A and B are shown apart, each in its own frame.
Chain A
Amino acid sequence: MMAQATKEKSSYRAAFEVMQAEDARCLPAWLLRLRETAMERFEQVGFPTTDVEDWKYTNTGAITKGAFAPVAADARVELGADDVAAFLAPEASSRLVFVNGVYRAELSATENLPAGVVVADFATAFAGEHESVLRAYLARPSDPEVDGFNALNAAFLREGALVYLPKGAQVSAPIQLLFLSAPATQTAAVFPRVLVVAERESAATIIESYASTGESRSFTNAVVEVFVGENARVTHYKVQRESEAAFHIATTNAELERSGVYDLTTITLGAQLSRHGIGVKLAHEGAECWVDGLYLVGTGQHADTHSLIDHTSPHCTSHQLYKGILDGKSRAVFNGKVFVHKDAQKTDAQQSNKNLLLSNEARVDTKPQLEIYADDVKCAHGATVGQLEEEELFYLVSRGLHTDLARNLLTYGFAEELVEKIKIESIKRQLDEAILNRLHARLEV
């Protein structure tokens, strides 16, 4: 076990050394130092094991043993515009496309943006005037408790997406950030990084997509940071539909200024093992967030969501609704914590996790938590696990519906609340299709 971990660490170390040498001249020194520190941290802690409370229900052994290696900078997969078309959200007029972690300018579009708004890959940004933005936000002292996955992402911080909205900028069309895995790289480890900085009174919608072009068994280790300024509004969709052989570990952290609004909706459909850690810090008065999601998994899939909604200031509001549909021999984990600090009076926090088990081999572990140290608050959480209501089924069947159809209708109805929330048609359609496919698969069994 120990020997395995050491070997794993050293294989990342070798790739790390190569990368540091390659980048020594072209990337800023602060970044090289940051990566070095992160690599040391990773070597110190390794990947978390199930002994750690936060990873109790999710075993990352397969990633540790998976012999994944960071993709070499020159490894290029031939993909044309036609190949990626299926993964693009037509509503978006600007986009950045990354294939196996490498930025592809010819597939991207960064025009069509209001003045001052930047949507750029890191290499471009490092070379340009926004290097200071990257530096200000990426080089901040990191959390000393940072886990192995986050440390490893920072160690391999090279390619990534910067979205910068200057004060007052309003971007009406969504901005898409697409991270594609292509099957050429069976054991590719990729480390996407996204930085969104929304200055005061700006607004934008971001679509963060992860997909595979085939049965790629890749390991994605992503970190996304969102800074929402005063009165700014960021609407964020994360759609993960990587191949069912893939491993997807991701962290989304957001920090909100006064009266900032952050609305995150996460759709989890793919990967054999996925883990999404979410941290939203409501650090200034009047901030409000929505942290919603749907996970839809079938045989062989394991989806884990861990969230921390951190209320550190008074008069902030958080809403969280997570729904899960589990089929076949699948497993889901939900761990949501609402933490209300001593001074965060008048906090209004609602959290709900509902799970629908379609098969008798599915398993769910849910742990919604409230930790409250202020007295003038309104906090509530709830969690349910169950199957379709017999009464409701009976009602539909008694009206002449075929049992299977009635089941599907109810299952679809279960997801409806979240599907309806999505304001982007193409994502809504994808989700509809995914749910229907899941249900059709059931009918054929």
Chain B
Amino acid sequence: MSSIELLTNKEYKYGFVTDIESDMIPRGLSEDTIRLISAKKNEPEFMLEFRLKAYRNWLKMEEPQHWPNITYPKVDYQDIIYYSAPKQKATKASMDEVDPELIKTFEKLGIPLTEQKMLAGVAVDAVFDSVSVATTYKAKLKQHGVIFCSFSEAVLEYPELIKKYLGTVVPTNDNYFAALNSAVFTDGSFVFIPKGVHCPMELSTYFRINNSESGQFERTLIIAEEGAHVSYLEGCTAPKFDKNQLHAAVVELVALDDAEIKYSTVQNWYAGDEEGKGGIYNFVTKRGACRGRNSKISWTQVETGSAITWKYPSCILQGDNSIGEFYSVALTNHAQQADTGTKMIHIGKNTRSNIVSKGISAGKSNNSYRGLVKVLAGAEGARNYTQCDSLLIGDKCGANTFPYIEVSNNTAKVEHEATTSRISEEQLFYLRQRGISQEDAVSLIINGFCKDVFRELPMEFAVEAQRLLGMKLEGSVG
């Protein structure tokens, strides 16, 4: 009798540390910390007000430790450094002024930033610890009216847009981690696609944590005006540290009439070692508002990293005929924990949502899908279809499915289907009988299992995602 057991995880290849001098503030959190962050960034008064309001909300809130299917020791919020930036000139006239050490770091991560080597067709905003260090193709995008820059720059350059949209999708008191982020976020990306413009290239942000003591709190805001289209990708890695690190990000998307935003994530934060030591706590709030008629927001995520993942990219379907989509592959191995899924809130008429979630659990990990489909009384003709599949590898892991379906309109149609199974011996035997090795057979089956999600990813990301899964699941028959 054979059973599938796993060989060890292949070495996490992004685990290196860049040796660079940083400008750090003392650890700990208070109103003074927030004033200091705001001052360092020369922020206008309204931003400081926003932060302080969030901080005061946060103080009154409780950490959600009960309902998610995750366990972790209490985070000491006074033991975190809330601002850490590589020392370099504040404003960079060109890429040449970026610290070569940083350019080298991103090159090593497969993200070349210099003009000669830049990825064709993809504009990149590179975020290192608390700040954005470089954004490529800015000028070219500007010609089309597209704004793509670091969040700090947007606060200074486009304060009216920030004022108008920031916190309107995820309010500062939305949840514990969103409130914390709103108080202390340091940088992130800002995207604005004006009316009628189809963004001429993929936009992407690459997040890198380098400092072992700092948390990462980035903020992303994407606005697609009437008829605008944009595809945005994000990637993330961190060095291997024994200490857990907190990553609490907030992403807000706004789609007006006929606009489309496609947001793809390949999350590969350091997951900790086999025993669960170290790794990132990935507590993230991502939400998109389909404000306009016929608007569409699509989330695609491939979650393979982090010690703990807690995130529910959601869509508020306000505009009539708007569409929300969520495609997810969440893989947990060793001691990783994931409680992830989506929320689709149907408010407008004839709104549609589609959810495809593929969970793979291995090792002694725990992987939960948690999703809410809510149809309000006014959402005539709303439709949802949810498909949620879990694959188990080994008998020490857990796979859970917690869908919440709340329907208050009888013209709505909501369907949820879920299955849990393991890789079947018969499938494996069939492939092996054709001469395919055990490892290749496992990876073939897993990639097949995830195909419905992978095909939603932009090409380069799909290849990267497949490779990543293979790497995380090097398996063998025992």
B359 to chain A, nearest CB (A): 10
Query: Is there an interface contact between A365 and B406, defined as CB atoms closer than 8 Å?
Result: yes
Are B422 and A370 neighbours in the complex by a CB distance under 8 Å?
A: no
The answer to whether B422 touches A375, judged by C-beta atoms less than 8 angstroms apart, is yes
Across the A-B interface, the 5 shortest Cβ-Cβ residue pairs:
A357-B410, A375-B392, A386-B413, A370-B401, A379-B420
- In the assembled complex, 28 residue pairs joining A and B whose CB atoms fall closer than 8 Å, in A order, are A357-B409, A357-B412, A363-B407, A363-B408, A364-B406, A365-B407, A367-B405, A368-B401, A369-B400, A370-B401, A371-B398, A371-B401, A374-B395, A375-B392, A375-B422, A377-B420, A379-B419, A379-B420, A380-B418, A382-B415, A383-B415, A383-B416, A384-B413, A384-B415, A384-B416, A385-B405, A385-B407, A386-B413
Find out whether the CB atom of A385 lies under 8 angstroms from the CB atom of B422: no
Taking CB atoms, residues of chain B closer than 8 Å to A403 are: none
Judge if B46 is at the interface, Cβ distance under 8 Å: no
Question: Do A378 and B421 touch (CB < 8 A)?
Answer: yes
Does chain B have a CB within 8 A of A145?
no
Chain B residue nearest in CB terms to A333: B406
Taken together as a complex, chains A and B put the C-alpha atoms of A436 and B421 apart, in Å, by 41
A362 neighbours in B (Cβ, 8 Å): 410
Interface 0/1 of A365-399, CB less than 8 Å to B: 11111111111111111111111000000000000
Kindly provide the distance from the CB of A410 to the nearest chain B CB, expressed in whole angstroms: 14
Residue on A nearest B419 in the bound complex, by CB:
A380
Residues of B within 8 A of A367 (CB): 402-405
Any chain A CB within 8 A of the CB of B130?
no
B-contact 0/1 string along A294-335, CB 8 Å cutoff: 000000000000000000000000000000000000000000
On whether the beta carbons of A368 and B411 are closer than 8 Å, the reply is: no
Q: Which residues of A contact B399 (CB under 8 A)?
A: 370, 372
Which chain B residue lies CB-closest to A384?
B415
Bound-complex Cα distance A370 to B402 (A): 7
Flag if A383 contacts B398 (CB, 8 Å): no
In the assembled complex, B147 has its CB within 8 A of some CB on chain A: no
With A367-B405, A369-B402 as contacts: A380 and B414 at CB distance below 8 Å: no
Query: What class of interface size applies to chain A in its complex with B?
Result: 35 or more
B395: contacting residue among A342, A361, A366, A384, CB under 8 A = A342
A369 CA / B399 CA spacing, docked (Å): 11
Contact status A380-B420, CB under 8 Å: yes
Q: Does B67 contact A (CB under 8 A)?
A: yes
Q: Are A377 and B422 in contact (CB under 8 A)?
A: yes
| Interface status of A283 (Cβ within 8 A of chain B) | no
Secondary structure dominating the interface of B: strand
Minimum CB–CB distance for A309 against chain B, Å: 14
Shortest Cβ distance from residue B400 to the other chain A in the assembled complex, whole angstroms: 5
Known contacts A369-B403, A373-B398, A379-B420: A386-B393 contact under CB 8 Å: no
Contact of B416 among A368, A373, A376 (CB under 8 A): A368
Q: Which of A342, A370, A373, A384 has the most CB of B within 10 A?
A: A370
Determine which of A360, A374, A382 lies in contact with B409 in the assembled complex, contact meaning CB atoms within 8 Å.
Answer: A360
* Minimum distance in angstroms from B330 CB to a CB of chain A: 15
A127 to B: closest C-beta gap in Å: 47
- The answer to whether A357 touches B401, judged by C-beta atoms less than 8 angstroms apart, is no
Residue from B375, B395, B402, B410 within 8 A of A376 (CB atoms): B395
A53 at the interface (CB under 8 A from B): yes
Contacts of B411 in A (CB 8 A): 360, 387
Whether the pair A375, B397 counts as a contact (CB closer than 8 A) is yes
Residue pair B410, A387 in contact (C-beta under 8 Å):
yes
Q: With a CB–CB cut-off of 8 A, which chain A residues contact B408?
A: 363
Q: Are B410 and A366 in contact (CB under 8 A)?
A: no
The chain B residue sitting closest to A57, CB to CB, is: B406
Let me know if A345 is at the binding interface, CB within 8 A: yes
In angstroms, Cα B398 to Cα A361, docked, is: 39
A371 x B400 contact (CB < 8 A) = yes
Residues of B within 8 A of A360 (CB): 377, 409-411
B278 CB to closest chain A CB, in angstroms? 25
Any B CB within 8 A of the CB of A358: yes
Q: A368-B418, A370-B390, A379-B419 are in contact. List 14 more A-B contacts (CB 8 A).
A: A366-B405, A367-B402, A368-B416, A369-B403, A375-B392, A375-B395, A377-B392, A377-B421, A379-B421, A380-B420, A384-B413, A384-B415, A384-B416, A386-B414
- Decide yes or no whether B458 CB sits under 8 A from chain A: no
A60 contacts B by Cβ under 8 Å? no
Counting CB contacts under 8 A, is B112 at the interface?
no
CA–CA, A142 and B410, complex, Å = 42
Residue of A nearest to B372 (CB): A367
Contact B407 A357 (CB under 8 A): yes
Q: Mark B61-77, 1 if CB is under 8 A from A, else 0.
A: 00000010000000000
Residues from chain A with a CB closer than 8 A to the CB of B397 are 373, 375
* A185 contacts the other chain (CB 8 A): no
B417 on the A face (CB < 8 A): yes
- Are B406 and A53 neighbours in the complex by a CB distance under 8 Å? no
A359 at the interface (CB under 8 A from B): yes
Contacts A53-B67, A377-B420, A384-B416 given; does A359 touch B410 at CB 8 Å:
yes
Which chain B residues border A375 with CB–CB below 8 Å? 392-395, 397, 422
A442: shortest Cβ distance to chain B, in Å?
A: 13
Q: How far is the CB of A295 from chain B (nearest CB, A)?
A: 15
Bound Cα distance from A368 to B371, whole angstroms: 11
B87 to chain A, nearest CB (A): 49
Q: Nearest-CB distance from B340 to chain A (Å)?
A: 15
Let me know if A382 and B405 touch, CB within 8 A: no
Interface string of A167-201 (1 = CB under 8 A from B): 00000000000000000000000000000000000
**With A367-B405, A374-B395 known to touch, is A380 a contact of B417 (CB < 8 Å)?**
yes
Contact B410 A382 (CB under 8 A): no
Shortest distance from the beta carbon of A328 to any chain B beta carbon, whole Å:
11
CB distance from A51 to the nearest CB of B (A): 11
Residues from chain A with Cβ under 8 Å of B405 in the complex: 364-367, 383, 385
> Are A372 and B412 within 8 A (Cβ)?
no
By the criterion CB–CB under 8 Å, are B395 and A385 in contact? no
For B402, the chain A residues whose CB sits under 8 A away are 367, 369
Chain B min CB distance to A395 (Å): 18
What is the minimal beta-carbon distance from A169 to any residue of chain B, in angstroms?
Answer: 38
Q: Kindly state the separation between the CA atoms of A387 and B417 in the bound complex, as whole angstroms.
A: 18
A363: chain B residues at CB < 8 Å are: 406-408
How close is A80's CB to chain B, nearest CB, in angstroms? 44
Report how far A371 CA is from B339 CA in the complex, Å.
Answer: 12
Expressed in whole angstroms, the Cα–Cα distance for A59 and B81 within the complex equals 45
Q: Assess whether B418 is in contact with A372, with CB atoms less than 8 Å apart.
A: no
